[in-house]
Each structure stands twice: as C-alpha cells, then as structure tokens.
Copies of this chain bind each other. A is one copy, B any other.
Amino acid sequence: MPQDPEDPAQLSTAHRVALLSRDDRIFHVVLAQQFDREFIEELCRLAEMIRSIAEARQGAQFLRTLLGHKRAMLYFIQPSTRTFLSFTAACQVLGMPHNEVRNPSTSSEVKGETEDDTIRVLSQYFDLIIMRHPEEGFAEQMAHMLNRMRRTIPLINGGSGKDQHPTQALLDIYTLLRSLGRPAQEGARPIFSPDPLKGKTIAFVGDLQRGRTVRSLAYLLCRFPGVRMLFVSAPELQIGEDIIEYIERHSIEHEIHDDLRAVIDQCDAVYMTRLQDEWDRDGESRSIDYSSYTITYEMAERFKPGMVIMHPLPRRHEIDKRLDNTPHARYWAQVRNGMWMRAAMIASIFNVDARIIDHYHSYYAR
C-alpha cells in the first residue's frame, strides 16, 4: 500500500505502463520517483536479508541458485568502474551470468547501426538490460521500446546523463536507514525503526547541480516525512529548482546554505560530493573555493555523536583522509551496501524475493 498515493499519479499513464509489469510489480527501474515508501523499505529489508544469508557459505551457495537460468547485459556506454562492478557483483551474488557492452567502438555501431537496433538485438540474448548512458531520458525511452517488442525484458537505469541514478539513491537510503534507523531483528525479519529518518537532518554538500545522485536521493527522501534537508553549495552549483519544487510539494523541511562550517553541528548525515568539472562548458567552476564544501578532521569535535559521512565516490579532496578510519566514515560501507541493494532489486524484478525471505526465515526464525 503506497504511503504517498499522490505521487504515482504524477507519473503519466505511459510511465506507469512502462515501469510496472501487468501484475503491478516493479518491472523497469528508470526513475527514483517511481518508488513508494513501502517498496523502498521492502527493498532495504530484502538487502539486509541477502547480506545476512551471504555470510554463510551455505547461504551464499543458495543465493547463487536463484538466477542461474537468466542472463544480464550491462550496457555501459559511459565510463564507470564502481557502478559497473557493483552490478556485476550483484549478478554474481545471485548466480546470474552477465555480459557487457562498454566501448561502443568495438560494437556494430561502427557499421552504422542505430542504438535502438542495438538494444533490440541485446534483448534477444539477455533477460535483463542494465544501462548507463550519457543521454538523459534514454533509459526511459528504451524501456518504452522494449515494451513494444514481442519479447519484453526489464531494464534498470544505472545512471543517465546529469539526471537520474535511481539505484544509487536506493543504496544511499539503505545506508541512511542502516546508520540512523537502528536495524533490529524482530522474530524472523530484519526491521528498521518505524520512522527512521524523522527529525533527522541530512546535508548535501558540494556540486549539487550536476550530481545526479543527489537529485535522485532527494526524490526518495520525500517519501520520509519529518526529514530535514540542507543543500550546502556555491550558488552556481546549487540544487535544481525542479527538485526544490518537488520537495516543497511534499512539505519537506529544507534550507539552502553556502558553507558547511555553518551547519556541520546540526547534521545527522553529511552527503559529500566532488566537483563535477567534466560537465564544465568553459571552466566556469575553476573559480569556486571548494574549501567551504570540504569536511575536515578539525570539524570532528563539532560532529553530533553518531553522525555519518557519506559520499557516492569517487572523491577528490572534499573529505579529509584522517576521517577515513573514524566510525563516522560510511563511504566504504556505502559501496558494499550498493551491491546488496542491487542484488535485492534484481531479485525483486525476477520475483525470487519470496524465496529469499523463506530461506531467511528458515535460518533466522526462532
């Protein structure tokens, strides 16, 4: 039962047809906005179960029996190590064979094929396409096209242009719930606090305009009433107006700031980002003093107890390396969370989540 019934309505009918399968389960994963609160928490619980099961050799072997009969295609046209490897590791956790197209120059495109045709061909060999693409909207467009094929397969958006990165947003939420939501075991299922982010302050710091991870995470946080978001950035790199409007429509408390030092003692979580100067048109970000968007070791005395530092990585100098070995640093854990979350998502798409829950119960039930 969606907690935010208003929102799915904001997606057009075409969207809903594209993104949901006939029985209303998630099918394509394209936009962060497509997830309601219930589904987000369900995925986090599923990720938590997969992680527990994988700890034991027997459990890891069970997981690998789940999707051995399917094949995934990672169509990653934009350079990526982390997201790419996270997805491949997630496939491997579930025993799902995968293949990749990464460098279009080794592909048939040199022979003059359209990218639509490439995707159509890939859909013949594989049962899932995971796509990273520089063009905004391309993943969604391909989801629609796949729906028109006789053999329709699901698609996951692994990052599109400056726009969306929904699976990153989900792993970020999962990291927040794990860190701030005090996960516990209740009978045979892992749970998070009833309203895990209520009253929590989360600061987004750095290049918010061009960081698609921030955009996607902000959408998802609107499913958690009571959260407070701070956007800390140079005015030229502030979060887009469309996001602010979306947040306001959901009556989520938020503030605009331009110096991390001014707000660091209020934060329960700080989400750092690097300067994305590869999107610069004319070196315009060179003049920005990024020290106001850097978290230093000296700030630590002003941290709230249990404050967590996150970063989608790769980082540059915006996090003092001396913070790496403090309990505040969650960016490495965040990486690993991504693998479990992506495995949860793929398991959910292929309807093997029930088998995971059963396995978890039979081992963890008291």
For A54, give the chain B residue with the smallest CB separation. B69
Q: Given that A79-B107, A313-B113 are known contacts, is A121 also in contact with B71, CB under 8 Å in the complex? A: no
Check A148–B89 contact: CB distance below 8 A. no
A118 at the interface (CB under 8 A from B): yes
Check B79–A88 contact: CB distance below 8 A. no
Check A81–B325 contact: CB distance below 8 A. no
For A314, give the chain B residue with the smallest CB separation. B113
Check A106–B81 contact: CB distance below 8 A. yes
> For window 312-342 of chain A, which residues contact chain B by CB distance below 8 Å?
313-316, 325, 332-333, 335-336, 339
| A110–B117 CA distance with the chains assembled, in angstroms | 30
Check B108–A81 contact: CB distance below 8 A. yes
Q: Which of A97, A103, A123, A335 has the most CB of B within 10 A?
A: A97
Q: Given that A81-B106, A106-B79 are known contacts, is A111 also in contact with B274, CB under 8 Å in the complex? A: yes
A365 at the interface (CB under 8 A from B): no
Determine how many copies of this chain the complex contains: 3
Check B274–A315 contact: CB distance below 8 A. no
Contact with B along A81-119 (1 / 0, CB 8 A): 110011011001001010101110111111111000110
Check B106–A339 contact: CB distance below 8 A. no
Check B314–A125 contact: CB distance below 8 A. no
Check A108–B313 contact: CB distance below 8 A. yes
Q: Given that A124-B335, A125-B339 are known contacts, is A313 also in contact with B117, CB under 8 Å in the complex? A: yes
- Beyond known contacts A57-B69, A113-B316: 7 more, CB 8 A cutoff: A81-B106, A85-B101, A85-B125, A92-B99, A110-B278, A121-B332, A150-B332
Chain A residues in contact with chain B, CB under 8 A?
Answer: 54, 57, 60-61, 64-65, 68-69, 71, 73, 79-82, 85-86, 88-89, 92, 95, 97, 99, 101-103, 105-113, 117-118, 120-126, 148-151, 274, 278, 313-316, 325, 332-333, 335-336, 339
